């Protein structure tokens, strides 16, 4: 489609008005592209008759990991920013259909205090004190697959505001190893 609009001359791309009008509006073109239709390199817009052919699933296909819980630890220097981001993560989880567990905040922030001299070498009587307060919030999400967890975590990490730190702890559900077997009735009697 764009091939009719540009001409390459001596390595310089020049755009020329096209006598043809676009066959379809841009919205329907993007809709058709997102419906998995195939577009070849030399062809124009995607055709309605060439749907994307999926290959059959492989026999050795791996399953998604299951996470019992995903816990987020959020820390920031501003409590209002932290509260807003906590609301954003829980709302995003509800929109994605993720079970939201408990969300809580530590009542008192973590205080780091520094005492420094005003002068570099002398006058110990003249000191300045600095304090850094770190606020914490926690949120738990239950019963996630690895693909859902990856999508959700990528989304909230991309929208992480400045000055907010995020720590993620995942608890995976694993199968029992093969060497562990269920107890036999004789073992239960003993």
At residue 95, the pLDDT reads 94
Predicted confidence (pLDDT) per residue in 88-135, tens digit: 999 999 999 999 999 999 999 999 999 988 888 878 888 899 999 999
At residue 55, the pLDDT reads 57
pLDDT band at 53 (very low <50, low <70, confident <90, very high): low
Q: Which helix (H) or strand (E) holds 173?
A: strand 164-173
Output Rg (C-alpha) for the chain, integer angstroms. 29
- What mean pLDDT comes out for the span 153-181? 92
Q: What is the mean pLDDT of the chain?
A: 76
pLDDT band at 58 (very low <50, low <70, confident <90, very high): low
Give percent above pLDDT 90 in the chain: 50
pTM of the predicted protein model = 0.60
At residue 190, the pLDDT reads 74
CA atoms of 84 and 117, how far apart (whole Å): 37
Predicted confidence (pLDDT) per residue in 17-30, tens digit: 444 443 333 333 33
CA atoms of 151 and 142, how far apart (whole Å): 15
**Sequence-distant contacts of 102-109: CB under 8 A, at least 24 apart:** 102/138, 102/139, 102/140, 103/137, 103/138, 103/139, 103/140, 104/137, 104/138, 105/135, 105/136, 105/137, 105/138, 106/135, 106/136, 106/137, 106/138, 109/79, 109/133, 109/134, 109/135, 109/136
DSSP 55: P
């Amino acid at each position: 489609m764009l091939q009719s609009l540009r001409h390459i001359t001596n390595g310089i791309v020049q755009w020329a008005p096209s006598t043809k009008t676009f066959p379809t509006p841009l919205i329907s073109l993007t809709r058709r592209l997102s419906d998995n239709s195939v577009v070849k390199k030399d062809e124009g817009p995607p055709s309605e008759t060439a749907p994307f052919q999926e290959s059959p699933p492989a026999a050795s296909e791996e399953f998604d990991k299951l996470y019992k819980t995903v816990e987020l630890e959020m820390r920031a220097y501003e409590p209002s920013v932290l509260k807003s981001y906590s609301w954003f993560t829980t709302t995003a989880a509800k929109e994605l259909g993720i079970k939201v567990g408990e969300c809580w905040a530590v009542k008192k922030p973590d205080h780091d205090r520094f005492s420094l001299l005003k002068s570099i070498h002398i006058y110990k009587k003249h000191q300045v004190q600095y304090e850094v307060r770190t606020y914490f919030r926690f949120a738990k999400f239950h019963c996630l697959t690895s693909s859902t967890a990856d999508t959700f975590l990528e989304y909230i990490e991309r929208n992480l505001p400045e000055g907010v730190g995020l720590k993620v702890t995942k608890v995976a559900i694993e199968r029992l190893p093969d060497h562990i077997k269920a107890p036999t009735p004789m073992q239960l009697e003993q």
